[in-house]
Structure 1
């Protein structure tokens, strides 16, 4: 898994509604792994002097602030292979604990109309499943979605 994918997965977890609710909807094992990810990222940002980026996003989780966290995480991973491996391992554990994220069209920007057809998201059983479509994007025209199926 490349740094961009790792950063996106972790940012999605860090700023998910389930964690904002104190992990109430997460299983115990998943919540433990999520906590380890948060501590690992927070400690790394603190030692690198970039904790303000994370604090800003935690206080105001806008798309722009979350993207800054992703970019900082990518920069940190590019500088430190051990940190990258640590995050990969925690993500692997989260996958083994059945955290499932499926987002179609995250962060896309379209200057005109957008048409999607035959979009299917299917997740196996999991203790935390998040499925979404067109999250955090900017679309200036009309959106037409046909045959959207989400199941778990």
Structure 2
């Protein structure tokens, strides 16, 4: 699995085997062997490789694209799988996502939408904390507001 992740992420990053090898201080042949599965990088090289390819070490080692046809996501991005929308619009958030983002039964989520980008969900209380912080900053500047990023 790691060999396909190395090759796929390298190509997604637009890097050649030579460029990866140079950044890691190994030979191009070593990178070729990693990508073909003939050998596996040691822990130090795997960690350095994850940095070069901007992925987590865990994802580099264990990401399995089988059935998804999606490439290895960059560091900080996650693919939790698919969910089925029920008749009344309900979805079950995968356990791994709930654990990672600390979502528990009874939490209130705010659903945001962008017709070009899709849907997003955030914890409503954390969102409101950010809004309050922004309002405090605006008030601290004498009420000056730049139009929310619009050109003046």
TM-score by length of 2: 0.31
TM-score by length of 1: 0.31
Which one has more relative contact order, counting CA pairs under 8 Å at least 6 apart?
Answer: 1
Greater share of residues in helix: 1
Greater share of residues in strand: 1
Q: Which has the larger radius of gyration?
A: 2
